[in-house]
Chain A
């Protein structure tokens, strides 16, 4: 693909609204008679609620109602449905909309308070009295896994929710024959996600029809509708879910949350609109987190550095519930073997429950974890053998002429996973050239003269994108000539409206301004999956193309009847179908749309199907694999341990670019997420499961003053697996970034420095390492 607009770095159609304060986020919704909700949340990590006393709270100013789970008995009861059931999870481990008797992490919602404003609701929430039998809590995932640990859920005998296994080849054989074997242990710390807009829900009930309307700051409005319908035993048709402007998603907003259910139940019960806006304090204790994993890996390799096999074990910190099933640990397994052509792989992942906030995918899901493991191992091998880090990679990567490459792993349906296209070695070579790796030592020396330790880091990754099953789109041309694109894919700032408009405008020969894109309103498009896993350009983008192709064909058929010209002699341009070579012999799309909208008693030409419109779904049956190679340079102040990332270069291949401006934005934002994981973000809990970092004073996020400029180079290997040749780009920046920064820090600390096997790392740690190395 590429056309007038497809492939062009045009500015976004979303921008004008968002720049002028006229965006419309969930907290901007005001409805007549609306009540404001605040939750009573657990301030303990594990306990059984004996009784709840609402008396004082109900008497407080502005309070209208306080509900616990029991109060919803006439509407619905029981745990929420599992979003992604998995055969290994014998029973779903999901929340109740409000806690049942047992509370399993600090922050779990116990009761919902409705008041005339939020401040009054919060005051009353603080006055609700709980009588609690405290139970032992476990917050350390390693301790949680041992046999005599207190259990997160008192009804389970063990905290191991599931043990997942995967691999290929014969590891013991390859290990026995390999020249070298090393064992390393890794500790990847838990962090948050922190979209700048917290979550929020407005639920409204139509008093005449009983229909429920929900606006939610979500990545998965269709999942909210589906699961809420199942829970309420209502038909989907009576529930409309839409997403207004969403202030960032990055994964956690893909879950269907207890609060979404609780607010809906409260609105049904009180028969008034109810709004709940999560505050940042709640976000720290009630929105899913990620990345906590402990790994132990053995790697077999040859004298020349070629990596041959990996076997390993992971303890995965799942938190207290599994709202998204096992999707997160499954992503860890699926991220192997990355760009490496291994002969054998043997992995076991123990999914372990803790009395902490549940984990679910955060930008990259477990792909950044696995990139960290594989890239650290590659650096480790180089160090062990005394060879260049790039040599290990160049000798171990899947080669371009091996594409499509069957990795040995299996997809969920049991089919073999195969990388579709790409040149991993080429990407690495290019990034080394762009950062100037060959004269890095000069820069290291120059930094040394300034008293700084400079290091070069490299990291590569392969990313599965375009996760199935599908997204869809409908396109309709109105008699006024507007092109309306509707899709179930929700947006959280990715510029979908622009990208889809580019695709549709090209296919239909109209201008960008002629296209309106509507996203994620269940009343406007029937089905959607979720904006996750770098899948929307592939799935929804392809659907827009397919739907536009159908509309185009229809317009041409109509014009061929009308102008009495063969279809192949017609083309679309400037909002009209015209005869090739005779621009004046034309019929406008608006006229075609008007005619196909029908006039009383007049048959349509050629007995055509009414409406200049079409719907298409793209079934993404095979993943398409994006990849990237990153290089960065850091400077360390040996006195303070301060680490500065001073240069960052990305080589990235996500197939055809619909809009390079948008893709670059995705990559840059993604890299900064990864730098945050490497250097700043650390969610800390004490042994009792109390969170200790619940403000941005304690929990550090990457700020502009600490971030480097990020230079991006694209390779464009079209994907053969979808009609527009694209691969996903939403997470490719994040996946190798932490690995890349840590590689650079290790390089800066020099040959006597440590092997760094954990992140985030801190300046204090750097100072200690330097003392040891001295």
Chain B
């Protein structure tokens, strides 16, 4: 498995990325009525829970700014904190590995797996493992990875990528899950959620005891103590990280926080933002392997620190904001675009607003140039983001890079001819617009032409196919009724003309 076109230290690699097919994936998603129903229902529920959970906090703004400043401080001295982390973790007996890119991260995990004669690996849900394509790498080496998070297990059985960074199977309805399990397990399944969960628990329990290796991500790495925190509700992470003899965690370098006490505010805000819980059912703080036979827990713990294009984002204050993300998924749940199309349409394991900014910055603009356009810039994401990432600001920045090119960030528009054609046609349209808006007289003339065209199109809507980039408008909408005159040509506007201003 080698990342195509990846230049080390320039752009990273995201497994199964097909964000360049965004234009085809969106209509498919829109046509899926079931999907839209499932998404509307699920995102409504989570966003309401989040809102209620945050209402309870009387120092919410203070908590958010605390969370933001912890992450900002951590990123400002990332190298130092990572070094401290490595020193402390090593002293605790954790093996720390550095992976510059996805390929080397997978290789490190694979190497550990092989050394420990792994046939079966249990996995806790981890977006980073999706990013680096770890499951495929394990399967290629003859090792069976079993996802133990309920949603992640369901998408694994369905042979699909997750469609949400926290609720991987959010796009699936209960009926679909029942049929899937019945097919895979070869027996009839109960109808209710509790019954299905029971089946999953039973199926997965046995695996924890058999597995030679447990694989997880990490929510936060604590530099001060060399430990890392995992947050969950199902208990599967606790089992993954304690039953197998060996535990490997893979984490992006941006997960670092300086001090143990930083976890307080971050945990308080992440669970509320993510699921609307005051606290999750389990928090597992991993500090060292077991030191005596009477102890529980793994004998060997490894932590892989993954860069994969992340450190490049630190070069600019705005793009660095992206790395503050604590993957709470609140931005996905409030995003009106995500709500319409779901996660798979983004063609990236990181979908939604955070995916639209993270994916092109990691994998290169050429691989995901459409994603920054997948937003109306409504700002709902920024409003809920617990670490105050200016997502619309980063989207605007990336649109600028996509439109005007930026070789230093791996933006090679020619790699995607369709995008180029679209960008070119938009640019032609805006060149004309710039000229038309360049003088008051031209604005008047083209305004009048626009009103006339609108009148004609109202009569014969099929004519919009000649309207160039504007053709999409009549896809489900009428054009406005034209008023016959502009404001500036009216009597009132003339009365309001400042002294010294002649005719327009």
Query: Do A and B come from the same complex?
Result: no
